[in-house]
Amino acid sequence: MNELTLFPYGISILEIIYVVSSVLFILGLKKLSHPLTARRGNILAAVGMGLAIVATILFHKKDGEAIGNIPWIIAAIVAGTIIGWVIAVRVKMTAMPQLVSFFNGMGGAAAALISMMEFPHVHSDLIAAHGMANGQVLAILLGLVIGSVSWAGSMIAFGKLDGWIGDLRVKSMKYVNVGILLVITGMVIYVMTRNVQHASELNHWIYIIFAVAVVYGVLFVMPIGGADMPVVISLLNSFTGVAAAMGGFLYNNQSMLTGGILVGSAGTILTILMCRAMNRSLLNVIVGVFGGGGRTGIDTAGTVKEITLSDAAVLLSYSKKVVIVPGYGLAVAQAQHICHELDKLLDQKGVEVKYAIHPVAGRMPGHMNVLLAEADVPYEQLIESDEINPDLPGTDVVMVIGANDVVNPAAEDDPSSPIYGMPIVKAREARNIIVMKRGMGKGYAAIENLLFFDDKTRMLFGDAKTSLQNLVNEVKNL
């Protein structure tokens, strides 16, 4: 299959390069686990991908023939590189979740297209020996279904994150989604059990499966929104990795296989961790019915109390320990830089400032980490919620900026609440609480936040960016 076998035991140059690129993928993924080494890890993984692409073009042969249409391949690589570079450079940090969804969708689409192109070319000798129930056909069909779902779902997630697609919540949606999954499974089994001489005889079924998988991808993501988006993004990412791995099986490409397995496994592990953080089951994620809808079963006794800018500035300035809880509202207002300016001012006054990062705050895994890193907030100030919770009883002020469900005590107190059991930032245990919001709107779970009615809570209403800027000015004038 491959030329230039210059090593013992028939090992080719192409196989050696694939191993090298796979090692670079693994090293890159390892370095992505820490912000200080993340950029280097990204470069290593990119170099590994570049090596694999170049080596495949130069050395890969199928049935004794080299890869054709080289000018078209190079033109596509150049065009894709330019487009991707421009998009990545111009995108705002607050729009990073949309970019992740879009790029992930493109990977799923590529995997689905590979399956659609390769199905008619399943070797007739393989069909004659094993029928359609063989490994090659299975890899093609799995790549088609998973890649199509990933592409369609990622595009819907992109639209929802960008604000031009709303939520579609229907009580019977889970039954519809499970029914579509059963239909897809039945069609895959039907294709693999057909008695044909050439796979091309079943081409029309490939397009039908593709269409139904796209419908499922759309319906799977449509009910999801708000606080649940990080879970679905990580799940779709794992889908793309698995679909890519099917392409690696199909082409016997070790580099493609390794990359797909790494993405798929990492995405799956992250999805499970996100589900635990949100107190969701993975089954609910797959059928697309989690999140939203519901109300707290506890009466919101008490009144909402406000705080003035001057009082908030005095309270913060004369505190010893302040914890900031960022949420999606901070990202929407693009207020991360001003927030960092505030924490630096407080630090100059001798106040210890830390950020409490909830695993699903924002719209994608690590959204708050990326957002605050873009504002040059030191990584050491970003503390995971489960680590900072024990320190909150000794904290003078917790300032909640644009977060809602992740600080709602209903998650601990109200068994009837849709977020009951979800680990939260225990803001109510602090001595004082300042909540910055536009108004009294509910979070994605559509329930009242009991924290707003706590005796220790004071509301500072207004746009987060404007309020923070005014707060900075007040602190400077003290």
| pLDDT value for 302 | 64
Same domain, 73 and 103: no
On whether residue 181 sits in a domain, the answer given is yes
Please list the residues that pair with 149 across neighbouring strands: none
Q: Tokens 């199509």 — which residue?
A: 148
Query: Does some domain include residue 409?
Result: yes
The answer to whether position 32 is within a domain reads yes
Pair 81, 103 in one domain: no
Structure tokens at 411: 């998650």
Q: Do 226 and 333 fall within a single domain?
A: no
pLDDT band at 326 (very low <50, low <70, confident <90, very high): very high
Predicted pLDDT of residue 270: 85
What is the amino acid identity at position 205? W
Could you give the number of structural domains in the chain?
Answer: 3
Q: Which residues span the domain enclosing 321?
A: 309-477
Place of tokens 């509910």: 442
Average pLDDT estimate for 105-114: 94
Residue 8 predicted with pLDDT over 70: no
Mean per-residue pLDDT over the chain, rounded: 85
Measured CA to CA, the distance from residue 141 to residue 188 in angstroms comes to 7
Residues 248 and 108 in one domain: yes
d(CA 151, CA 191): 22
pLDDT band at residue 444 under the 50/70/90 scheme: low
Q: Phi-psi category of 475—alpha, beta or left, where left has phi over 0 and alpha has psi -120 to 50?
A: alpha
405, 454, 455, 463: the active-site residue: 405
Residue that finishes a domain, picked among 43, 71, 90: 90
For residue 33, give the H/E element and its range: none
Q: Which of 413, 430, 245, 446 is nearest to 356 (CA)?
A: 430
Range of weakest confidence among 122-126, 127-131, 281-285, 469-473:
281-285
Spacing of C-alpha 241 from chain mean position: 13
pLDDT at 49: 92
- Residue recorded with tokens 């998650």: 411
Rounded percentage of the chain residues whose pLDDT exceeds 70: 88
**Residue 180 tokens, joined:** 């579509």
Distance (Å) of CA 391 to CA 49, 124, 251, 403, 412:
44, 67, 53, 19, 18
**Do 340 and 445 fall within a single domain?**
yes
Structure tokens at 359: 């695993």
Structure tokens at 361: 């705050």
Q: Which pTM does this prediction carry? A: 0.81
Residue where a domain terminates, one of 56, 90, 124: 90
Bridge-based pairing of strands 382-384 and 397-401 is unpaired
In this prediction, residues 442-468 reach a mean pLDDT of: 83
Mean of pLDDT values over 178-197: 93
Q: Do 58 and 101 belong together in one domain? A: no
Q: Which residues contact 463 (CB under 8 A, 6 or more apart)?
A: 333, 438
Q: Examine residue 297 and state whether it is found in any structural domain, yes or no.
A: no
Are both 202 and 334 inside the same structural domain? no
Residues with Cβ within 8 Å of residue 52, at least 6 apart in sequence: 17, 18, 21, 253, 255, 256, 259
- The stretches of 163-281 forming alpha helices (DSSP H) are 173-192, 203-221, 229-251, 254-278
Residue 261 in domain:
yes
Residue at 298 is within a domain: no
Neighbours of 23 (CB within 10 A): 13
Domain containing residue 466: CATH number: 3.40.50.1220
Q: Provide the pLDDT for residue 64.
A: 65
In a domain, 296, yes or no: no
**Amino acid type, 185:** T
Instruction: Based on the fold, state whether residues 85 and 100 are members of the same structural domain.
Output: no
pLDDT tens, residue by residue, 151-162: 999 999 898 887
Tell me: pLDDT of 362 over 90. no
Domain boundary among 40, 75, 90: 90
Residues 76, 137 share a domain: no
Do 187 and 161 belong to one domain?
A: yes
pLDDT of 205 over the 90 cut: yes
Confidence of residue 299 (pLDDT cuts 50, 70, 90): low
Give a yes or no: residue 387 inside a domain.
Answer: yes
Lowest mean pLDDT among 116-120, 190-194, 371-375, 441-445: 441-445
Residues 252 and 109 occupy one common structural domain: yes
Cα Rg for the chain, rounded, in angstroms?
26
* 405 is an active site residue: yes
pLDDT for 206 equals: 95
- My answer on whether 105 and 84 are in the same domain is no
